[in-house]
Chain A
Amino acid sequence: GEDVEQSLFLSVREGDSSVINCTYTDSSSTYLYWYKQEPGAGLQLLTYIFSNMDMKQDQRLTVLLNKKDKHLSLRIADTQTGDSAIYFCAEISTVRGFKTIFGAGTRLFVKA
């Protein structure tokens, strides 16, 4: 099937950069997203990237898209304790009738 896969956990020290990776299988995806979920809350859209872009930067966030390898990454510069959360990668799957498909989420731990 068409899946979005992420590693489950990532631990970094405060001040370091975090890189969260995601792979997807639908080569005709049009939009790819990163969402953040804090404990007890809903998902919050962080950023999205069109499939015809390679990179998007927004303050401390950098998204890289490698369409050949179907790989998406989110880099958080100068990671803070407030960045501790679950990060979800998602894509619009044309194979699944333009449904948004979510990965299982990567839990980011930031150590002070």
Chain B
Amino acid sequence: NAGVTQTPKFQVLKTGQSMTLQCAQDMNHNSMYWYRQDPGMGLRLIYYSASEGTTDKGEVPNGYNVSRLNKREFSLRLESAAPSQTSVYFCASSEQSVTDNYGYTFGSGTRLTVV
């Protein structure tokens, strides 16, 4: 099915471990995004990529890095996981530019627990 695919769906890490969350979209969208969702706080933007070859910080980038590997793939890396990074992570993509955005297509999320 066309859409945004995230892997893994679930992950438990120990404090200090590293991991990479993978995201791929097959809709030929230009822009891709990483959000985290915490109870009662809506979604907060971690990083985004307006187009292939560019990445920019969002609202809460500390502790994360990203790579826009190609037009399809946008990965999120936690170098040294902390309990505060326990969250649900969503990848999203959009066809239009950052300023003209008719809405996002979201992946199904990665539920990350850091112990």
Contact = CB atoms under 8 A, between A and B. Distances in A.
Contact of B42 (A92, A99, A103): A103
Given A98-B98, A99-B58, A99-B59, A45 B103 contact: yes
A42 B106 contact: yes
Given A48-B103, A100-B101, A100-B104, A41 B45 contact: no
Interface residues of A, number: 22
A24 interface: no
Interface string B90-109: 10100000111111111111
A61 to B, nearest CB: 14
Nearest to B102: A48
Interface of A: 4, 8, 30-31, 33, 35, 40-45, 48, 88, 92, 98-100, 102-105
Interface of B: 4, 35, 40-45, 48, 58-59, 90, 92, 98-109
Given A4-B42, A92-B99, 9 more contacts: A8-B40, A30-B100, A31-B103, A41-B108, A41-B109, A48-B103, A98-B99, A99-B59, A102-B43
16 contacts: A31-B103, A35-B106, A40-B108, A41-B109, A42-B90, A42-B107, A42-B109, A43-B43, A43-B92, A48-B102, A92-B101, A98-B101, A99-B48, A99-B59, A103-B42, A105-B42
